Homo-oligomer: A and B are copies of this chain.
Amino acid sequence: MRFYGFFRSSSSYRCRIAFNLKGIRPEFVPINLRRNEHRDAAFLAKNPQGLLPALEVDGAVLTQSLAIIEWLDETQPGLRLLPEDATKRAQVRAFAQIIACEIHPLQNLRVLNFVKENYDQDRNGADDWARHWIAEGLTACEAIAARHVRNGTFTFGDQPGLADICLIPQMFSADRFGLDTALYPRLREIRAACEALPAFADAHPARQPDVQ
């Protein structure tokens, strides 16, 4: 199993947590997004879309972090990252998708660059854009997490799973854009519980071999 990622990429960060929770150590191939290595012929030969993260396994190349994590959960032993019950699984996926479909796509590098270049925004203007969408999404996440607070330490119970895997990298991004997360006390509690676990701590961008 070979994993193509980048230390700061949120979706790579999600996959690293999932690997750690499953106790899997894929070979890591760093792809430097800042140097446009995802557009190099060598990587495009593996993944013609030039997207990170990618997981190469038995000749197939899997992409999109949520699809990779569901594949891991379906094929690899260890801690279950999604609940067995179909209704609970739908609720966990919905939480993950608030982050993956409603927050993260609006604050990634290509979108921030477009806002700067086309709408005459400086770094601070682009950061305002990012903070706006992160705040809107985390407000929804906080409301959901607060309703489930009696059910456990993590977002949906006493074991970490897909919801937490998406939440922790998104809170890291919130910090990076200077968003005050004091408005999300339940999310901060969950974060503290997650970051006490080596699976989450070891997946942090600052601890990766390609950190800059």
Chain A residues engaging chain B, CB cutoff 8 angstroms:
48-49, 51, 57-58, 60, 62-64, 66-68, 70-71, 74-75, 86-87, 89-91, 93-94, 97-98, 100-102, 104-106, 111, 114-115, 118-119, 121, 129, 132, 140, 143-144, 147
Contact across chains for B102 and A90 when beta carbons are under 8 A apart? no
- With CB as the reference atom, state the residue of chain B lying closest to A99: B101
- With CB as the reference atom, state the residue of chain B lying closest to A103: B105
SS class, residues of chain A in contact with chain B: helix
Contact across chains for A111 and B106 when beta carbons are under 8 A apart? yes
Copies of this chain, how many?
A: 2
> Besides the contacts A62-B94, A106-B106, what 5 more A-B pairs have beta carbons closer than 8 Å?
A48-B147, A57-B87, A58-B87, A60-B91, A68-B90
Contact across chains for B48 and A70 when beta carbons are under 8 A apart? no
Contact across chains for A48 and B87 when beta carbons are under 8 A apart? no
With contact pairs A49-B144, A71-B89, A93-B70 given, residues A101 and B98 touching in the complex (Cβ less than 8 Å): no
Contact across chains for B87 and A71 when beta carbons are under 8 A apart? yes
Contact across chains for B49 and A67 when beta carbons are under 8 A apart? no
Shortest beta-carbon distance from A76 to chain B in Å: 10
30 interchain pairs, CB-CB under 8 A: A48-B143, A48-B147, A49-B98, A49-B144, A51-B140, A57-B87, A58-B87, A60-B91, A62-B87, A62-B90, A62-B91, A62-B94, A66-B101, A67-B90, A67-B91, A67-B93, A68-B90, A70-B89, A70-B90, A70-B93, A71-B86, A74-B89, A97-B100, A100-B101, A101-B104, A105-B105, A105-B106, A106-B111, A114-B132, A119-B119
Residues in chain B near residue A57, CB distance under 8 A: 87
Residues in chain B near residue A129, CB distance under 8 A: 118
Residues in chain B near residue A132, CB distance under 8 A: 114
